[in-house]
A and B are shown apart, each in its own frame.
Chain A
Amino acid sequence: MRVTRGFKGKPRDTGATSDRLPPGQFVTQDFPVLTAGPTQQADLDSWSFALHSDGKLLVRWSWAEFEALPQTEHTTDIHCVTKWTKLGTRWRGVTFDDLMSAARLASPPYEYVMAHCDGGYTTNLPVADLQAGKALVATHFDDVPLPATHGGPARLLVPHLYFWKSAKWIRRLMFMETNVAGFWESRGYHIYGDPWREQRYSGDA
């Protein structure tokens, strides 16, 4: 690696934020768009969000029903595995806990979920990483409806893990018995993705 004289790049590290930066990350003021496929455009009239298990539908909400669920606001830092971190992002949506209550599920049928999204994107997570306020299905960013380029109308938000886990255009959470690898996880990214332990790729501890 050879340093290029005079090149600074866009990200600027400031000492005040360094304790909020996981290892290897750089702070950005932008909100970069990264996608594995074309931007999905949903029709809210036919949109739904569902929980599934064992091939069976547990519960499904239309857009109107989803918007009527308890809303939670959350301000958090987000960390992309491509090394950018964005501080203090503001979101609104429905917590996983409130989804479970609304579905009248006292406990998850299995320990893991696969998020399924429009366009075919998937990502896998332990249910424990969604519970206790750790995750939302977010519909608003910075007080406005989430734009399609950033995953609207609804995306998963799991900010304590690398941002590829915060799946855009989410439509279903399917409970599963084993932790099956999703889109990026099956192509070399870490099965869990903790930015504080720098779990970027499959071989990382």
Chain B
Amino acid sequence: MIFAERLDWQVATAAKFCRETQGVVTIAFEVPEWHGHLAGQHVDVRLTAENGYQAQRSYSLASPAGNAAEIELTIERIKEGEVSSFLTEELAIGDDIELRGPIGGYFTWDRQSSSPLMLIAGGSGVVPLMSMLRTRYKVGGKAPARLLYSSRTAEDIIYAAELDRLAANGDGLSLIHTLTRGAPSGWQGERRRVDKQMLATHAFQSSEQPQVFVCGPTLFVETVADQLISLGHAESAIKTERFGPTGDKR
């Protein structure tokens, strides 16, 4: 039975920290009342200072779909970002924050879907797509899947090792990286911003009827979506989620 109900703020306790890259941290939270989530959903996080000042941001769930009481958020520390700085630098294990979720049904992957899965990520936009790939692995999904992932440099690639492992599984996942600000010597991936040519080369053909998810900064998402449409993909097959310029959704 699947339920929808009104959301309210819940207390979440920081349980684990894992540094993904220099500016990106994954935090695992214990949420005793967590009823489960789908891949692609997000949460709102709310922080309250002693003087009553509140700040709120949205973060995609990184952990795979399911009911586990421990969820993971992957957070990019934004320069001057009051919430991301706090979460990535000040929050300690055992501290509580408030969060609300899971949120969203439009930008979710149905793990029972047998359509080819095309994922296109810009920077920290990879987070909800990683939840989809982790879910796919967990349920043993076999339909072909591809992740085209744009990062600034190789050091900025989030989940690098885990993505390599998933792609080496032999279950139909291929991984294409592109770097926009310089590649190390011996780099085998692409070396520029995602463009129509790159999509024509690496994305599923529209005739394969893939389900497409694009996530990242607004400009990235809108450019990629337009390029996909010009390659013949139906607008209804492309699901998008825009992060603000600060990487978060608010």
Contacts and interface: CB of A to CB of B under 8 A. Distances in A.
A3 B53 contact: no
A11 B48 CA distance: 12
Interface string A149-179: 0000000000000000000000000000000
Interface string B37-61: 0000000000111111111000000
A1 to B, nearest CB: 6
A8 B54 CA distance: 9
B89 to A, nearest CB: 10
Given A7-B86, A9-B53, A26-B53, A1 B48 contact: yes
Count class of interface residues, chain A: 10 to 19
- For chain A, what secondary structure do more than half of its interface residues adopt (helix, strand, loop), or is it mixed? loop
Contacts of B97: 4
A6 B49 CA distance: 8
Given A9-B55, A10-B82, A4 B49 contact: yes
A8 B49 CA distance: 5
A6 to B, nearest CB: 5
Interface residues of B, number: 20
Nearest to B45: A4
Contacts of A54: none
A149 to B, nearest CB: 13
B187 to A, nearest CB: 38
A13 interface: yes
Interface string B64-99: 000000000000000010100010001110011110
Interface in A1-36: 1-11, 13, 26
Contacts of B52: 1
B122 to A, nearest CB: 21
Contacts of B98: 2, 4
> Which of A3, A7, A11 has the most C-beta atoms of chain B within 10 angstroms of its own C-beta?
A7
B11 interface: yes
Contacts of B91: 6
A1 B97 CA distance: 11
A88 B224 CA distance: 43
A3 B96 CA distance: 9
A13 B50 CA distance: 12
13 contacts: A1-B54, A4-B48, A4-B98, A6-B90, A6-B91, A7-B55, A7-B86, A9-B55, A9-B82, A10-B82, A26-B51, A26-B53, A83-B53
